[in-house]
Amino acid sequence: MIKDYYFLLSSITSAVKGEKILEKNGYRAHVFKDSSINPYGCGYIIKARGNRENMEEILKNGGVRINEIREA
């Protein structure tokens, strides 16, 4: 289903890497920091719109470790 999702990550490095991977695959993605949403590590989040399963697979195949996924 096409919705907005938050991908909760532990570091800015993972977040930026994931943002680039998603954009390369045609998704609009935005990195931001919000420790009230993301309690893991430094609190970085990728917000992206699309099919959750597809985006999750793309990120995992790209080596991005996702701590949690939430619907935005």
What residue spans define the domains of the chain? 2-71
User: Would you state the pLDDT for residue 42?
Assistant: 83
Average pLDDT, 10 consecutive residues per value, the chain (72 residues): 93 96 98 89 93 98 96 94
Q: Hey, what's the torsion of the CAs at 8, 66, 20, 23, to 10 degrees?
A: -80
pTM: 0.93
Fold of 2-71: Alpha-Beta Plaits (3.30.70)
- The number of beta carbons lying within 10 Å of the beta carbon of residue 19 is 23
